[in-house]
Structures are given as C-alpha cells and as structure tokens.
Amino acid sequence: MKVNYFPDTDSLYIDLSERPSAESREISDGVVLDYDHAGNLVGIDIDNASTKVQLDTLVVSKLPATIERTAG
C-alpha cells in the first residue's frame, strides 16, 4: 500500500494494490474509488484533500509490513 500526496493539485492517492485500475467510480464529490478488472478495490483518489483529510499526521498501527518513508 502506498499513500501519495500531490501538493500542486491538492490530491491524495492511496494505492491499495499493484494491480492496474480498470474502472473508477466517484462515490462523493472529489472522492473516486478505482477497481481492477475483477471488481477489487485498488485505489482511492481524493481531490481537495487538505479540506477532507487530516494530512499532518499518519498513524500506522499493527500492520504486518515494513514502513518506508520517501522524500518527496
């Protein structure tokens, strides 16, 4: 899973899978869910993220994974 914030467009994209998106559905104003060919959720796109999401803190709890931080 990857979480990417793009300040130039104020959008947040959460990659839930490495599978490519085949279909997108807007579920509310500026919130789009991406699905693969099998109908599995693979990503979440949030426009105007700074007004919808608390961007200053990210808490990760009990994930069985390695946490990586990239400069960006």
The residues facing 34 across adjacent strands are 24, 43
In sequence order, the 6+-apart residues with CB closer than 8 A to the CB of 20 are 36, 42
Query: For the chain, how long is the longest CA-to-CA vector?
Result: 34
Contact 36, 19 (CB under 8 A): yes
pTM of the model: 0.87
- Burial (0-12, 13-18, 19+ Cβ within 10 Å), 43: buried
pLDDT tens over the chain, length 72 residues:
999 999 999 999 999 999 999 999 999 999 999 999 999 999 999 999 999 999 999 888 888 888 888 866
| pLDDT given at position 72 | 62
| pLDDT given at position 65 | 81
